[in-house]
Amino acid sequence: MAAMTTLTFDSLNPATGQVVGSHPQQSAEAVHEAVGRAEEAAAWWAGIGPAERRRRLLDYKAVITRDLRELARLVHEETGKPVGDATLEIVLAITHLDWAAKHAQKVLGRRRVATGMIGMNLSATLEYLPLGVVGVIGPWNYPVFTPMGSIAYALAAGNAVVFKPSELTPGVGVRLAELFAESVPEQPVFQTVTGLGETGAFLAKDPRVKKIAFTGSTATAKRVMAACAENLTPIVAECGGKDAFIVDSDADLPAAAEACLWGAMSNAGQTCVGVERVYVVDAVYEPFMRELTERVARVKAGEHYGPITMPGQLDIIRRHIDDATKTGKIVTGGPESVRAPYVDPVVVEDVPEDSPAVREETFGPTITVRRTRDAQEALNLANASAYGLAGTIFSRNARRAMELARAMRTGMTAINSVISFAGVPALPFGGVGDSGFGRIHGADGLREFARPKAVSRQRFALPGMNLTSFSRGQEELDRLIRLVTFLHGRRKR
């Protein structure tokens, strides 16, 4: 009876408005039950050991690869993005799944650590144990790649996952869990719960969930964190960005323009690490803009990229374009570029740094471009953002580019390419400031979903050095002081 009264919601194709699928709005009880099942599954999954988990995850990878085309079609239908782009994000997710499966044991497995002079009679081991149930709250812009950055690493670390996909892409979320069950039929190690924001809130509030991996807006991350605070549940927050693209005086300008355009406009700009602000050194400003404007004229919404997936986002994009075109100088497009659900590319120069189009995340196919005296000024402007997710440097001088990249206040920087770090599974992904905290991907991403377990074992008693005892005498303390003075007492100036 209860199942018959469950409310449902539809996922729509944003390009056509057609219904792609209908899904239950899962209640607090349904989420509670899913977490209960996940707790049992987590114990089983932890118990089968790393070698078997690796085998199952590699099988899951093969199952996704087998169904790549069908999954890409579903991503295309729910997000509106071209099938080619959907394919690309799934391929990236597959490479992450592969890396997480193959490296989990090496990164997390038990190892001996040095004990130091004072602990010379001890042996010490460190390992990273599963947390239990991990809740993943995902976005709609890359509905396979982004949540898989948490799901694959959490599963490889030995946890069970309950995944709440965005209400815009529930079908993709359901399919990811169904495919997993082909490789792991015994227990619901990876479940998807569907619904609106409140379903995600139920997940965040459940005390049996040991970590929440959230991807979405900074504002919602704060709400999720507040819910998690109730149970002291830790969270990984992957929020938005306002990524800068710096073109130095010695950059390969055609390559920079090409990369800038793709970084800004692909996926209709709905990329957390998409290019939103461009800073170009004065010496190459005009030639770079010629390269950029020539190319941008050939890029069309509905052909090279899809519609804006979330209808409400159009208002933000429109507001930023209106503001930028009033305060800056239009290079390409303008307010008329917004023809819902599509937005054609918009490039605006000289927009004041304190305007919403430069400060707030637009999440649309728009960029602001500004001339700077030199690369240092470009870097200072790039860093003057509340966000700090990623960025790009174009320069032929490898040393200088590396200096700039290291000084950029972000979690990731690409040099002479855009977003390339996302395709390197060994590199951690995450931001600073309003872009969030914690890391997915790489060894840090595996450790994010595990708890360090430290064990020290006394191998023999140190004669005359029984320090942790009430029978300790003054001679033992004197001996300790002599030892510590020998080891640490010399000042080096």
The least distance separating ligand NDP from the CB of residue 54, rounded to whole angstroms, comes to 28
User: Does residue 239 belong to the site contacting ligand NDP (CB under 6 A)?
Assistant: yes
Strands 235-238 and 243-247: unpaired
User: Does residue 126 belong to the site contacting ligand NDP (CB under 6 A)?
Assistant: no
CA dihedral 25, 29, 35, 41 (to 10 degrees): -100
Q: For residues 211-230, which are near ligand NDP according to CB under 6 A?
A: 215-217, 220, 223-224
Q: How far is CA 382 from CA 99, 238, 240, 314, in A?
A: 32, 19, 15, 25
Q: Which stretch binds ligand NDP (CB under 6 A): 15-23, 65-73, 134-142, 150-158?
A: 134-142
Q: Which is nearer to ligand NDP, 162 or 247 (CB)?
A: 162
Say whether the peptide bond before residue 341 is cis (omega within 30 degrees of 0).
Answer: yes
Q: Which is nearer to ligand NDP, 201 or 259 (CB)?
A: 201
Alpha carbons 122 and 460: distance in angstroms, whole number = 7
Q: Which stretch binds ligand NDP (CB under 6 A): 55-63, 148-156, 164-172, 447-455?
A: 164-172
- Catalytic one among 77, 89, 167, 238? 238
Task: Tally the C-alpha atoms within 13 A of residue 285's C-alpha that lie toward its C-beta.
Answer: 16
Question: Which residue from 493, 459, 462 is spatially nearest to 479, judged by alpha carbons?
Answer: 462
Binder of ligand NDP out of 128, 180, 279, 363 (CB under 6 A): 363
Question: Which residue from 440, 463, 361 is spatially nearest to 161, judged by alpha carbons?
Answer: 440
Q: Which is nearer to ligand NDP, 78 or 167 (CB)?
A: 167
Q: Which is nearer to ligand NDP, 204 or 357 (CB)?
A: 204
Binder of ligand NDP out of 141, 192, 337, 368 (CB under 6 A): 141
Q: Which is nearer to ligand NDP, 77 or 349 (CB)?
A: 77
Q: Which stretch binds ligand NDP (CB under 6 A): 54-62, 72-80, 148-156, 200-208?
A: 200-208
Q: Which is nearer to ligand NDP, 105 or 231 (CB)?
A: 231
Binder of ligand NDP out of 101, 148, 272, 446 (CB under 6 A): 272
Q: State the amino acid at position 420 in one-letter form.
A: S
Q: Which is nearer to ligand NDP, 25 or 65 (CB)?
A: 25
User: Does residue 28 belong to the site contacting ligand NDP (CB under 6 A)?
Assistant: no
Tell me the two tokens of residue 313.
């986002």
Binder of ligand NDP out of 77, 89, 238, 448 (CB under 6 A): 238
Task: Tally the C-alpha atoms within 13 A of residue 100's C-alpha that lie toward its C-beta.
Answer: 33
Q: State the amino acid at position 129 in one-letter form.
A: L
Alpha carbons 220 and 432: distance in angstroms, whole number = 16
Question: Which residue from 301, 225, 295 is spatially nearest to 260, judged by alpha carbons?
Answer: 295
Q: For residues 170-199, which are near ligand NDP according to CB under 6 A?
A: 196-197
Tell me the two tokens of residue 278.
């461009």
Whether residue 238 lies in the annotated active site = yes
Q: Which residue shows structure tokens 């919602």?
A: 220
User: Does residue 440 belong to the site contacting ligand NDP (CB under 6 A)?
Assistant: no
User: Does residue 276 belong to the site contacting ligand NDP (CB under 6 A)?
Assistant: no
- Three-class secondary structure of residue 228 per DSSP: helix
- Three-class secondary structure of residue 153 per DSSP: helix
Q: Which helix (H) or strand (E) holds 455?
A: strand 450-458
| CB contact at 8 A, 301 and 268 | yes
Q: Which is nearer to ligand NDP, 184 or 236 (CB)?
A: 236
The least distance separating ligand NDP from the CB of residue 200, rounded to whole angstroms, comes to 2
Whether residue 228 lies in the annotated active site = no
- Count the residues in the chain: 493
Q: For residues 445-484, which are near ligand NDP according to CB under 6 A?
A: none
User: Does residue 243 belong to the site contacting ligand NDP (CB under 6 A)?
Assistant: no
Q: How many residues touch ligand NDP (CB under 6 A)?
A: 29
Q: Which stretch binds ligand NDP (CB under 6 A): 68-76, 126-134, 232-240, 457-465?
A: 232-240
The least distance separating ligand NDP from the CB of residue 215, rounded to whole angstroms, comes to 5
Residue 489 neighbours by CB under 8 Å, 6+ apart: none
Q: Which helix (H) or strand (E) holds 452?
A: strand 450-458
Q: Which stretch binds ligand NDP (CB under 6 A): 96-104, 107-115, 160-168, 337-345?
A: 160-168
| CB contact at 8 A, 470 and 451 | no
Q: Print the SS3 string covering 1-58.
A: CCHHHCCEEEEECCCCCCEEEEEECCCHHHHHHHHHHHHHHHHHHHHCHHHHHHHHHH
User: Does residue 356 belong to the site contacting ligand NDP (CB under 6 A)?
Assistant: no
Q: Which is nearer to ligand NDP, 315 or 353 (CB)?
A: 315
- Catalytic one among 228, 239, 260, 272? 272
Catalytic positions: 238, 272
Q: Which residues bind ligand NDP (CB under 6 A)?
A: 137-141, 146, 164, 166-168, 196-197, 200-201, 204, 215-217, 220, 223-224, 238-240, 272, 310, 313, 361, 363
